Structure 1
């Protein structure tokens, strides 16, 4: 321990690799450093007793590798990319050389503890609200263990308030709050049910309101509810929405909300009406594929049971909600025609932001098990874009088609078409609670974006901006601020698709290894999860 009266904990969030979610290219124009704060570390910081001092460093917004008087360094790691896992190890080594006690937790420790075990003194598997305070108490008694495993699910009523005071809220374009954990569905590829289970656990509504208030008091009026399925418990969701509506009532500048939900939201008009009244402005939906056979294969039951996905999306949009979509390519039933199908679907649905991903088998998921048992799980190597051998096309065809699709989706004209389609489906929604705040920050961002598009030497860039704004004026002039935001976001999407994505993909596309140049096989050669379990597609028991 240090010579100070209290031992100190330093939490470190390693930098995440460039991604569609990261918005790295748009952040400088919007005047922020990163989209979301490190909620997991803020929450654990809230669980630390007064016996400790605590500090948080987020590498996504600043340097983390400099001296500290902390006794304990806690590092959070995800499984987004091998780059991130390598960075976790580098940071651990840096502070270990300085004589600090190193702790590692997060999804990387829960799903692949072997990948970081040699780089830390203490590893945390599972949720940390109970095990972290236990470790700190053990540390004070000088009898801490080298591994803490949380097997039972945490009661969300026990989740501590995040230490919002430990970060600059305005470094981030939005606050982040988690109201529930767990998802009732059984998608084969998803690691959420592995980590959090299928029973939806919810925070008390008053606790959620207290967190919203904390962020609002810190100046952050845009909140991302990072629940994996905000509507997984409808009764709770509706009660929370009513409370959020009351919270916003009378506020000069109401807080805006965005979340993730399932497509069956479209079947509940009362739910969507409540979302609109509570000032929800958008929802991210895991659509995955327009192809029913691919959805059936991966047990995406809520989508399979939605007769018309495009109609469902338009229904949600009609309540003034911008729909973003998660799309996946590389299912066993995906052949070379899937790229055109995905493109047509996105254009018709009017989804401006689509996160297109290659199917990947996450450790401990049913998909991981099936791929391993069938000999189709690829070991990681530099430049590998998916760890699954495709069977309806070659690996190179999958990567090349994916790359072409992303560039096509984020072409200037195609993006304009999707955004304006979305506005049309909102049927003249008034955006009554979208009240601009006059600030130097907003004015500078406005000028940067205006200059980037209108004073560019590229005519396609100027045309894009004019088409976005003039189309908005014709369809619904009250949406002009949202048009400006989506125009700013496009800076990132377009550059990521045309610049950074090529850098990431290049090594894999150039590979001549026979292991990756796999000839296309018949889909029938490999049973899907649906075929191997229950063709009725009824929800299954939670996977262990």
Structure 2
């Protein structure tokens, strides 16, 4: 059996980093973790090939070789997934589809032969058994959650790791919080399930043996969902692993209550974590109450961010405008919060309602849905009818992006961040690509860029005040270049 695993293309989004990746000669941020994990669950005797169209072209020869195509997709990859399925249909290759897009919208894909939905650990085995008996159904789904202690390590050897800027790994699924706009609990539940420490270390070892020495992203929706197990088991093991190998940096998604636990932050830093993404959403108390973001309420969020930064963890964050409780004052309040907190990578989006969320169901009952969401957090679209005038909302949103990603505001925010930030304990290994990236940054940002004056002022300020952070200042400057490109493409 010849199986072709295909991963659709990501459009030009905030998190694609397409414009930044060119500086380090990489084609994509991450390899397809879910698809490679599914590959490890398929029969060992099957021949398997991966085509990630973010890094390689899908050819007619690829499709001619395949007996079956397995495709996994996120919502933001919908357009590319549709094109790939159409090509498979034309080539006469049967398609098996899974992942978040199809779990939410499988009724929209008439040309897919079989859907393996929800968690593949539960739905893939019965499909494979039926397939071997020539009686495979069209849809396999479940309302149960898998024991991920049984999940195999991904088949990293199918991917060309040199094409990627970072690796990815999963420790847990599920989140203890239930924010109205988030579909994580619908997909994975509210009780975080974790892999064993031995599993995680084995996965780190697997791509380390393949030569990987770059950053690694823990894709968990909330790494600290089970604090006790994280502190008692995983972090001590990662600290030990780092001491015995060439250290590699980690980053993760967490909730803001990380700032309440100084020992946990210190352990994360010692284990190699240097960046965390936090869902801030809004500085407005009414907005937080509306979306059930209870973990963010009754806090000094700016000081929470600073405590995390002072522990050696850069804070990236997500923000939303368009809550029912928002008034036109929210736009300046978001700008002020982002600038004051020194959150350099600030993702701002209009409120969207993913299928399966409490928000989706509420707005459906109110007759305020506008169809499918794009899946892109920063393209200036929404699938809901807001209570605020739509033109005021859209103009205010554009004003936020124009301000926070203007070179003057962006570079000032880096300096605000550096004044608080404790340099991480794990030092990034410099490669020839990093040297090339520096020269590209000097040319694109310091010679021909619109913000070249601010770029050189930042490097000069960093050289005098935080010289050890000079490489990070260049990295963040490159990120800003990408963010400005994306913002101009979609909404400015």
For 2:217, which of 221, 224, 228 is the aligned residue? 224
Q: SS where residue 279 of structure 2 aligns?
A: strand
Which one is further off, 208-217 or 194-203? 208-217
Does the aligned pair in 1 maintain the 2:269–2:425 contact within 8 Å? Answer: no
Q: Supply the distance in 2 between the matched residues of 1:219 and 1:404 (Cα, whole angstroms).
A: 44
Distance 1:335 1:138 in 2: 55
CA distance in structure 1 between the aligned counterparts of 2:238 and 2:85, rounded to whole angstroms? 40
SS at match of 1:119: coil
Cα distance in 1, alignment partners of residues 180 and 452 from structure 2: 44
CA–CA separation in structure 2 for the residues paired with 1:196 and 1:329: 26
Q: Which moved more, 1:276-285 or 1:98-107?
A: 98-107
Cα separation, 2, equivalents of 1:374 and 1:182: 28
Higher mean displacement: 464-473 or 118-127: 464-473
Q: 1:255 aligns with which of 248, 259, 270?
A: 248
Q: Distance in 2 between matches of 1:481 and 1:250?
A: 25
Establish whether residue 480 from structure 1 lines up as the match of residue 470 from structure 2.
yes
Counterpart check, 1:19 vs 2:8: no
The number of equivalent residue pairs is 484
Q: Distance in 2 between matches of 1:470 and 1:440?
A: 24
Paired with 2:385 and 2:44, the residues of 1 have a C-alpha distance of 51
Match of 2:136 in 1: 144
1:304 corresponds to 2:294: no
Match of 2:444 in 1: 452
Which residue of 425, 442, 445 maps to 2:420? 425
Distance across 2 between alignment mates of 1:179 and 1:395: 40
Quote the offset at 1:87 in angstroms: 2.5
Distance (Å, rounded) in 1 between the aligned partners of 2:123 and 2:356: 22
Contact 2:272 2:425 in 1 (8 A): no
How many angstroms apart in 2 are the aligned matches of 1:381 and 1:322?
A: 30
Following superposition of structure 1 onto structure 2, how do residues 6-405 of structure 1 map, counting pairs within 5 Å? 7-68=1-62, 69-80=65-76, 84-116=77-109, 118-220=110-212, 221-238=214-231, 239-251=233-245, 253-305=246-298, 307-380=299-372, 385-391=381-387, 393-405=388-400
Show the counterpart of 2:490.
501
| Post-superposition offset of 1:51 | 2.5
CA contact (8 A) 1:283 1:322 kept: yes
Structure 1 stretches lacking a partner, 5+ long: 1-6, 506-544
Look at both structures and tell me which one has the larger radius of gyration over its CA atoms.
1
Q: Describe the shift of the 1:199–1:380 C-alpha distance in structure 2 as closer, same or farther (beyond 3 A).
A: closer
User: Does structure 1 retain, via aligned residues, the 8 Å contact 2:218–2:250?
Assistant: yes
User: Residues 432 and 151 from structure 1, CA distance in 2 versus in 1: closer, same or farther, beyond 3 angstroms?
Assistant: closer
3-state SS in 2 of match to 1:211: helix
Distance 1:64 1:192 in 2: 31
SS in 2 for 1:232: helix
1:89-122 C-alpha deviation (Å, 9 max, x unpaired): 2211211222211111111221122122x12110
Matched with 1:526 is none
- Match status 1:462 vs 2:455: no
On the 8 A contact 1:182/1:196 being kept in 2, the answer is: yes
Higher helix share: 2
Instruction: Sort the Cα spacing of 1:31 and 1:101 in 2 relative to 1 into closer, same or farther, 3 A.
Output: same
- The answer to whether the 8 A contact 1:431-1:478 is kept is no
Q: What is the Cα deviation at residue 168 of structure 1?
A: 1.2
Tell me the C-alpha RMSD between the 2 structures.
1.7
Of 386, 401, 405, which aligns to 1:406?
401
Asked whether the equivalents of residues 65 and 94 of structure 1 are also in contact (C-alpha less than 8 Å), the reply is no
